[in-house]
Structure 1
């Protein structure tokens, strides 16, 4: 164990030396331009964690980028991050994914050390186990993001009819679409109100309402809400009555939710037959026939 620790430290020192020599030999464009554009004031003192990030940051980012590209494209990750309302970029998610992979690798390495000290299994099996821990941690992070996207979309579907009715009432009261969105985001709390708040922020930043709604339709993964945003953008652009559009969209979503509930109940009906046939029915038959069997045994014995 001591030899392994010493070898690891020696390998780390060699890698750091080679990396420093390579960076000093071929400086990047940022390293060449930064001395001419940065402030002339002396840089403040940096904590040790920031210095470690400066030392290991480039190599760590390249490693995470390579692992991320092997597990999925950056475009898909960016689309899912936008769909679930996260403001983090793809590089930050790749760092999180690599951290999960490192945690999985650390766990499998600990288990491998214990297994090696107890029964000495084949080294190839331990290496495959450690690789599976690394890949499993990265895949678990990806599945966590997918689960978060599904949860966010479910909240959007649940809140959409009420928010659409509130928008219709505000427009019917004489307010403009932007004022209606502002009122709804002020009085409601939820995933859809946060998305509408992002639309309102884009409008205040200088975008048109139609452009902000189109971007919202492209960003969300819920078909009904995307169709609602597109219909609202078309109604604003062409000047068609917006109240009828909002009420029709809310009614369509409620009808879709009712139809999905009926279909889910129909699918669960077969699954509900399993405990009835294999658990409740045998117990009922046993309770029905057991007294008769006991009576027959008593009468035959008498």
Structure 2
């Protein structure tokens, strides 16, 4: 049998299995059939007209719900995912993020099928290799969305650490000028921008709603994974609770943040220096040796 025919038959069989499993999953259970009759009031999804959505959304909604359930079972735990989304400053809910993971995985599967079709038409590759390629690209799309979230968290927390010394100095100046902790926070939030300023704005909004400032600062420390921001928030909250001179504490935190930034720069420089050794040792040095030795070898051969 032609390998191309085998590959296309394998793809067709996989599609039939997926459609059959999807249709079986969409079969209503007894609870779903009885629940509308047991409700005394109308609730969304129980009865009445469907919300205004496009035909494509209505067709894909059941499959999307099934995909989200699969991702919820095999993906990151809900609580951990909520923490990561909050650290990334994302407005997405857990279900929305998992729906995006499903979309990325489907995009990977489609890319795998297209690549398999091209390989079959051009080279007649093995069906098992094509199946492995398709599944690998689907899993890669699923993992890529999770990796993108991790990168968003890292970029946001790096920006917060970079903004911390400036904001701490501004707070220290405001407190030293005679303003209270809340007034200094309002002034700094109104005159600055950035990731840390947005976090402080959320803290200020909770304080205006009636929450204690020290508790909200500790909440800021819990929301972030940046160690410098956690130390700053905890130290400021402790100073407010104990009545310690706040300006001195803020200046000390600014100095610590700048020192930590210098240490991180030194560490990054050391890592870059080690990474630069790879092309030097494996590319430049061998070429240099060839240029140094080759003329001597040529002279020896000519002399012989």
- The SS at the match of 2:89 is coil
Number of equivalences: 289
Question: CA–CA distance in 2 between the matches of 1:28 and 1:205?
Answer: 43
- Distance apart, 1:181 and its partner CA: 1.6
Residue equivalent to 2:189 = 185
Q: Does 1:140 align with 2:144?
A: yes
> Residues 166-203 of structure 1, C-alpha deviation per residue, up to 9 Å, x if partnerless?
11111112222222222111111111111111111222
CA RMSD, Structure 1 to Structure 2 (Å): 3.8
Would you say the 8 A contact 2:26–2:62 is kept in 1?
A: no
Structure 1: which 5+ residue stretches go unaligned? none
Question: CA–CA distance in 2 between the matches of 1:275 and 1:125?
Answer: 33
Residue equivalent to 2:228 = 224
- The SS at the match of 1:193 is helix
Q: Does 1:26 align with 2:32?
A: yes
Distance change in 2, residues 1:221/1:15 (3 Å): closer
Question: CA–CA distance in 1 between the matches of 2:263 and 2:17?
Answer: 65
Question: CA–CA distance in 1 between the matches of 2:113 and 2:234?
Answer: 51
Question: CA–CA distance in 2 between the matches of 1:8 and 1:284?
Answer: 57
- The SS at the match of 1:88 is coil
Which residue of the other structure, out of 199, 203, 206, is the alignment partner of 2:203? Answer: 199
- The SS at the match of 1:22 is coil
- Distance apart, 1:96 and its partner CA: 0.6
Would you say the 8 A contact 2:101–2:141 is kept in 1?
A: yes
For normalisation by structure 1, the TM-score amounts to 0.79
- Distance apart, 1:20 and its partner CA: 5.8
Q: Does 1:279 align with 2:284?
A: yes
Which residue of the other structure, out of 162, 165, 171, is the alignment partner of 2:166? Answer: 162
Question: CA–CA distance in 1 between the matches of 2:232 and 2:243?
Answer: 16
Which stretch has the larger CA shift, 105-114 or 27-36?
27-36
Which residue of the other structure, out of 47, 56, 64, is the alignment partner of 2:53? Answer: 47
Would you say the 8 A contact 1:101–1:138 is kept in 2?
A: yes
Output aligned runs, 1:1-302, within 5 Å.
Answer: 12=19, 15-16=22-23, 21-22=27-28, 26-27=32-33, 33=39, 35-36=41-42, 46-49=52-55, 52-54=56-58, 56-273=60-277, 279=284
> Residues 51-107 of structure 1, C-alpha deviation per residue, up to 9 Å, x if partnerless?
x54554354223223224323222222111111111221111100111100000000
> Residues 249-273 of structure 1, C-alpha deviation per residue, up to 9 Å, x if partnerless?
1101111111222333344444445
Question: CA–CA distance in 2 between the matches of 1:31 and 1:175?
Answer: 62
Q: Which has the higher contact order (CA 8 A, sep 6+)?
A: 2
